[in-house]
Amino acid sequence: MAAFALAALALDAATYLAARRAVRTVTRANLERPARAALPQIADSMRVGLSEQGRGLLVPYLEGCLMAFGASYAGALDHAGDALAATGAFPEGASPRAGSRERLVDGRPVLELTIPVADDAGRLHGALVLGYPLSEALELERRVGLRAAALAALAGAAALAVLLLVVARTSEALRRGDERVRQSERLSAVGRLAAGIAHEINNPLGSILGFSQAALRREGVPAPVTAALSAIEEEARRCRRLVQDLLTFARRDAGSSAPFSVEDALDKTLALLEAQARLQGVAVERDWSARATVVGEKSRLQQAFINLASNALDAMPSGGRLTLRTRRGEAGGRPVVVVEVADTGPGIPAAARERVFEPFFTTKEAGRGTGLGLAIVQEVVHAHDGAVEVRDAPGGGTVFAVTLPLAA
Amino acid sequence: MAAQAARVLVVDDDKNQRNMLVFALETCGYRVTAVAGGGEALAAAAKETFDAAICDVMMPGLDGVKTLERLRAVAPKMRVIMATGYATAQTAAKSKTLGAFNYLAKPYEMNDLLDVLERALRDGREPA
């Protein structure tokens, strides 16, 4: 098959080998040992399998792979090689074995990339398969010599998708209330996995982002290639955002904890978002009735507040009012501060409200959100012995209320 | 672009990362030499003068931090920028105390790279 593809397409062998090497660099995906060690544990606790809903989480991502990189098909396989989710003209006979191979699909030559997730014992837990039309890859290569970068982009995206698969399965099992493994243990396993994969992805992602941004600065690049480069750049940025969100979400190790003013953290949050609010015609109101001090990691809680406030802004693209309030209260016999973030947007439908804190649940259009914003909020607030809930605002819109114990 | 293009040494064991930096920096008019490791970097710095270096932290053999220390000894005028992945952010922060001009966390924006590099070159031109 390889010989056929080479002959029929008169492929430049050196270029082809360079692209293959780029893919192999990522395919090898040398996860750090702790991350590898965590894999069987995760797989064992995920025997429940991926529900229809869980599969649904993967499909938009796979479709993103098709659109952004011109792949003709994409699919996620489980350890046995059965397709969990697939898009495009996904062919029979995809293999969960690592590597890149040429196939004829519907009479057309396709470069099929398989990025597996395996543990130290070589046990396979899943794989992502992408089919890339060789003729298009060649065209791109002839014009700007960026095929290696494009393929590395694909492989980086694919490695991410496998990570998504694992996390989606975790959240699915959590939702089903599997009691065999405690939630914190599972999340720390995902955390180690995320940290390991994040490190492996940041390197190739750096090449992808750098190549595409530098190529965009070159003169005389034809318009279709500029469009392709811009798509690669945008997708690389999206992957970077996702990696950062995953790390924030999965980080379980406590950083330095210290007392700080809640209102001060909220003021800093608003300072970051006020320009965006003005741009959208959103009025910002603050009511600091609590004047409260809590103990915790200021930067993480601030991240949670930023996520809530920027979600509120996203709900009001053509104006409205963002209100941040603090008040003192009591929960479980303990004095608390309640932080409310209210918008005057369209509100959240009851069906979606139950799921807003689930990882990868998003109502935003593809590419806008990572689906981790509110999952991060919940994770951070729980880590601080707090609670977060969502309700309708009296005059329309949504209120998120974060309850945190006051400093003793 | 300056009348005389600045000379930049790129040190990274990852071929794609190295090629990317050469491609990016040459696009912006710099004169670039790329090597795959600390030993080669020291040899290159002994042979010719570079205004700045961009050095990966995690490399087999002579790692980024050791390379930084030796480059600083061989070519004290050369400004060294460290580039790091997620797991080595602390190492990179430490490298600043060992004489690195600054560090970049991968994946970085091209604008940030060029900004840090320009500041490093300005810093190198100022009389001590």
- How far is the C-alpha of A402 from the C-alpha of A389, rounded, in Å? 7
pLDDT digit string, tens, across residues A162-192:
555 555 555 555 545 443 344 444 455 556 6
pLDDT attached to residue B26: 93
Q: Per residue, what are the HEC states of chain A?
A: CHHHHHHHHCCCHHHHHHHHHHHHHHHHCCCCHHHHHHHHHHHHHCCCCCCHHHHHHHHHHHHHHHHHHCCCEEEEEECCCCEEEEEECCCCCCCCCCEEEEEEECCEEEEEEEEEEECCCCCEEEEEEEEEEHHHHHHHHHHHCCHHHHHHHHHHHHHHHHHHHHHHHHHHHHHCCCCCCCHHHHHHHHHHHHHHHHHHHHHHHHHHHHHHHHHHHCCCCCHHHHHHHHHHHHHHHHHHHHHHHHHHHHCCCCCCCEEEEHHHHHHHHHHHHHHHHHHHCEEEEEEECCCCEEEECHHHHHHHHHHHHHHHHHCCCCCEEEEEEEEEEEECCEEEEEEEEECCCCCCCHHHHCCCCCCCCCCCCCCCCCCCHHHHHHHHHHHCCCEEEEEECCCCCEEEEEEEECCC
More confident: B9 or A1: B9
Average of per-residue pLDDT values in chain B: 88
Q: Which of A322, A253, A301 is nearest to A404 (CA)?
A: A301
Q: Sort out which chain B residues have CB atoms less than 8 A from A22's CB and list them.
A: 16
The two tokens of residue B47 are 């042979």
For B84, name the nearest residue in chain A, comparing CA atoms only: A203
CB A127 within 8 A of CB A83: no
Residue A195 CA to residue A205 CA, distance in Å, equals 15
State residue A35's pLDDT score: 39
**Cα distance from A105 to chain B (closest Cα, Å)?**
30
The Cα–Cα gap between A390 and A307 comes to 14
State the Cα–Cα distance between residues A32 and A120, nearest whole angstrom.
10
- Phi, psi angle pair for B115, to nearest 5°: -65, -50
B86 closest CB neighbour out of A21, A22, A202: A202
A119-142 pLDDT per residue, tens: 445 566 667 777 777 666 555 444
Q: Which residues make Cβ contacts (< 8 Å) with residue B115, sequence separation at least 6?
A: none
* Of A136 and B50, more confident: B50
Residues in chain A with CB shorter than 8 Å from the CB of B16 are 22, 25, 148-149, 152, 204, 207, 211
pTM of the model: 0.54
CB B86 within 8 A of CB A199: yes
Rounded CA separation B101/B51 (Å) = 12
Residue A133 pairs in a beta bridge with A110
Residues in chain B whose Cβ is within 8 Å of chain A: 14-17, 19-21, 23-24, 27-28, 83, 85-87, 105-110, 113
pLDDT for the residue A116: 61
Q: How far is B127 from chain A (nearest CA, A)?
A: 32
Do B28 and A32 count as a contact with CB atoms less than 8 A apart? no
C-alpha A214/C-alpha A232 separation (Å) is 12
CA–CA separation, A131 and B64 (whole Å): 37
Reported as a single tens digit per residue, the pLDDT across B20-30 is: 999 999 999 99
pLDDT the model gives residue A343: 96
With contacts defined as CB-CB under 8 Å, which chain A residues touch B85?
199, 202-203, 206
Counting other chains too, the contacts that A84-89 makes at CB distance below 8 Å and 24 or more residues apart are A84/A50, A84/A55, A84/A58, A84/A126, A84/A165, A85/A50, A85/A55, A85/A56, A85/A58, A85/A59, A86/A62, A87/A59, A87/A62, A87/A63, A88/A62, A88/A131, A89/A131
Q: What's residue A139's pLDDT?
A: 55
- Report d(CA A214, CA B26) in Å as an integer: 9
pLDDT of res. A163? 55
Express each pLDDT in A361-392 by its tens digit.
777 665 566 677 888 898 889 888 899 999 99
Closest partner residue to A22 (CB to CB) among B16, B86, B106 is B16
Nearest-5° Cα angle at A388, A391 to A290: 95
Low-confidence ranges of chain A (pLDDT < 70): 1-71, 79, 96, 98-100, 115-126, 134-197, 199, 249-255, 359-360, 364-370
The answer on pLDDT for B81 being more than 90 is yes
Question: Which pLDDT belongs to residue A137?
Answer: 54
| Structure tokens that stand for A76 in this block | 């996620």
User: Do the Cβ atoms of A206 and B107 come within 8 Å?
Assistant: yes
Q: Does A163 touch chain B (CB under 8 A)?
A: no
Which chain A residues are Cβ-neighbours of B110 within 8 angstroms?
A: 209-210, 213-214, 217
Taking CA–CA distances from B12, the nearest residue in chain A reads A203
Give the pLDDT of residue A99: 63
Are the Cβ atoms of B16 and A202 closer than 8 angstroms?
A: no
Question: Is A247 touching B (CB cutoff 8 A)?
Answer: yes
Q: Which of B32, B55, B110, B111 to mutate to test the interface with A (most CBs of A within 10 A)?
A: B110
Q: Which residues of B touch A217 (CB under 8 A)?
A: 24, 27-28, 110
Task: Give the residue from A205, A213, A240 with the most B CB atoms within 10 Å of its CB, the best one to mutate.
Answer: A213
pLDDT of residue A85: 72
* Closest Cβ opposite residue B16 in set A148, A199, A215: A148
User: Who has greater pLDDT, A227 or B85?
Assistant: A227
Q: B128: which residues sit within 8 A by CB, 6+ positions away?
A: none
Of the partner residues A152, A218, A243, the one whose CB lies closest to the CB of residue B27: A218
What is the average per-residue pLDDT within B93-112? 87
pLDDT at B54: 97
Q: Measuring CA to CA, which residue among A397, A293, A298, A375 is closest to residue A336?
A: A293
- pLDDT of A267: 92
Most B CBs within 10 A among A208, A211, A244, A245, hence the mutation to make, goes to A211
Q: CA of B1 to nearest chain A CA: how many angstroms apart?
A: 14
**Residue among A148, A195, A213 whose CB faces B110 most closely:** A213
A25 touches chain B (CB under 8 A): yes
